[in-house]
Amino acid sequence: MKNYKNFNSLSILDEGSRLFFGFENVLLKNIETCNFLKEIISTSYGPEGMNKLIALDAGKSIISNNSLDILKNLDLIHPISKLILYFSASQEINLGDSTGFIILFVSELLKQAFDLLKEGYHISEIIDGFSEAGKLTLDLIETLNTVRLTDFFNLKIMSSLMSLIIGKSIQGLENFLAPQIAYACTKTLSSSKKKISVNDIRVIKVLGGSFEQIKTINGTIVLRDTEGRIKKKKKNNFLIFF
């Protein structure tokens, strides 16, 4: 059978590219890529994590220890690294935290999986083991629940949950903003509707003031001035007709 493998195919790839043949070689390079990202993120992970000086385009730079900021500003080419970036971004969107944990956890799982491959386990067996472990983990989490949200209209419980969700993004303001957000969420719910939609909540920005002046209103806000020349009047005389 004729072999169509072209060993000069590097000429059509980017400079510095390398080709790997064989399942184990490709898998090893995928795991090495994940471990490389792990080494970058691990030094910035946790309360004592170090900041990274990130060079941007046009000569600009930022200093951050946020895992997602670091990954977004890396020139990622490997498909596995792009996939990990997608998982990390999804974690940020859905939960707002633990983006670095996703990278460290995935890298450690792949490292342990490769050790199993070297011991002779087939990749399908490892995948089945991970799937079974995921199901057992979800069942275990259900037994560890200390608070189960049954009353979606309980403002106190909703405020506590919101403070946990937004605490990472706005440290120091969660105790003030959490009740406001919880109130807005409860007003969008009903006895037949138990899912909160961001399309039902509008945020109106007004120039000036501070965060203490934030108000949540159940209704409609119109950003326009009142009609007429008289804007304010005190001690009015009222005449009521019947």
Q: Which residue has the tokens 């009609």?
A: 227
On whether both 64 and 184 belong to a single domain, the answer is: no
Q: How far apart are the first and last CA of the chain?
A: 102
| Domain of residue 108, CATH code | 1.10.560.10
Q: Which of 94-98, 114-118, 162-166 has the highest mean pLDDT?
A: 114-118
Q: How many domains are contained in the chain?
A: 2
Please indicate whether residue 25 or residue 86 has the higher confidence score (pLDDT).
86
On whether both 123 and 64 belong to a single domain, the answer is: yes
Distance, CA of 187 to chain centre: 25
Q: What is the pLDDT of residues 6-34, one digit of tens each?
A: 444 444 445 555 554 556 677 777 788 88
Statement: residue 68 has pLDDT above 80: no
Q: Output the average pLDDT for the chain.
A: 76
Residue range 129-140: mean pLDDT, rounded: 90
Q: Can you read off the two tokens belonging to residue 70?
A: 């670091």
pTM > 0.75 = no
Residues near 65 by Cβ (< 8 Å), separated by ≥ 6?
A: 44, 49, 50, 51, 52
**Structural domain of 166:** 155-213
On whether both 113 and 22 belong to a single domain, the answer is: yes
**For 178, which DSSP code?**
H
On whether both 205 and 123 belong to a single domain, the answer is: no
On whether both 139 and 159 belong to a single domain, the answer is: no
